[in-house]
Structure 1
Amino acid sequence: MTEPVFRYHPDPLATGSAVRVQHECSVCGQLRQVRFTRRTPGFTGWQQESWLYHCGDGAAFLGPAGYRDVEPHPDALNMLRASHRQLGWSSEETDEFLHRLDRNGEPTAYLFQCLHCGTHLASWDIG
């Protein structure tokens, strides 16, 4: 039996919303290879999580991201820079912050991708 596929969360194993472990599904009773750690795959942030959207639809969550994960996506980097401009940060402060992004620590970014046009989006969080 194949595991469920989530349009808005394409790789829950990579993001930590699921773990690979053989178990009997409590709903269908069949043997499964993946156990989901929450009912609806998502992510947990230090502040209030915000699911990003684009082209009038929710975007696919690709996972937490450090600078090296976001760097290949200029559209996502520009979104993070715009967020900092709105907060009054200088370009130097923003660049220093972006280079400190850590997918396993803080500050961190959350990387998304539009399901319609492929644009990469990002938000950031710090504890």
Structure 2
Amino acid sequence: MTLPTFTYNPDPIKLEVIKKEKTDCPVCNKERDYVYKGPFYSVEDVEGICPWCIADGSAADKYEGSFQDDASCEEVEKETYIDELVYRTPGYFGWQQEHWLSHCGDFCAIVEYVGWKEIEHLEEELAGDLNEIMTTYNLPKEKLKEWLTNDGALQGYLFKCVHCNQHRLTVDSN
């Protein structure tokens, strides 16, 4: 069975939030070959959700949960974008509270976990986000370049606009 596609998380396998692993999904009660391993916020501690129950919203409905905290999202133009991201999109693993970026009035798609070497070629395109990060963390660019590594002092999360392909960046510190 083909995995569902997610506008705001186009490669959840690469981000290791969906894994090829057998599960008995507690939502649809079907045996599936893929399981969700990412964050899910609900009163109940739920494991084994399949990607199809994320995509159709039934997992969030059944457990009155969400895959993203809407208070940790940048603003967007339409409520339907929030519903799709929060209730029908797999999250990603952040060191702290995951923060979802937006552009062109809509949420961006999460691309990958990055360090400086993975985004160096995007320095000019990411200038606005990089300046904000340096200000927030009170870092000169040299330290940002040194500390921004996968599993380093700063972890980067690269996003891309679903409309114009502009890249965006956010970071967490450990």
Structure 1 and Structure 2 fold alike (TM over 0.5) = yes
Aligned residue for 2:8? 8
Aligned residue for 1:64? 113
Unaligned runs of 5+ in 2: 41-66, 68-89
Unaligned runs of 5+ in 1: none
Which protein is richer in helix relative to its size? Answer: 2
Distance 1:51 1:44, change over 3 A: same
Q: TM-score, normalised by structure 2?
A: 0.61
Number of positions where the alignment pairs a residue of Structure 1 with one of Structure 2: 124
SS in 1 for 2:92: coil
Aligned residue for 1:105? 152
In structure 1, how many angstroms separate the alpha carbons of the residues matched to 2:32 and 2:145?
Answer: 39
Distance 1:53 1:117, change over 3 A: same
Aligned residue for 1:36? 36
Within the alignment, does 1:126 sit opposite 2:156 as a pair? Answer: no
Q: How does 1:46-57 map to 2 (within 5 A)?
A: 46-57=95-106
In structure 2, how many angstroms separate the alpha carbons of the residues matched to 1:88 and 1:110?
Answer: 16
For 1:36-92, what per-residue CA distance to the aligned partner results, in whole angstroms no more than 9, with x for missing partners?
Answer: 01453212433332200000000001122111211222313x1343114544846xx
SS in 2 for 1:72: helix
Aligned residue for 2:71? none
Which protein is richer in strand relative to its size? Answer: 1
Q: TM-score, normalised by structure 1?
A: 0.80
More displaced stretch, 116-125 vs 24-33: 24-33
- Using the aligned pairs only, state the percent identity: 31
Aligned residue type for 2:143: E
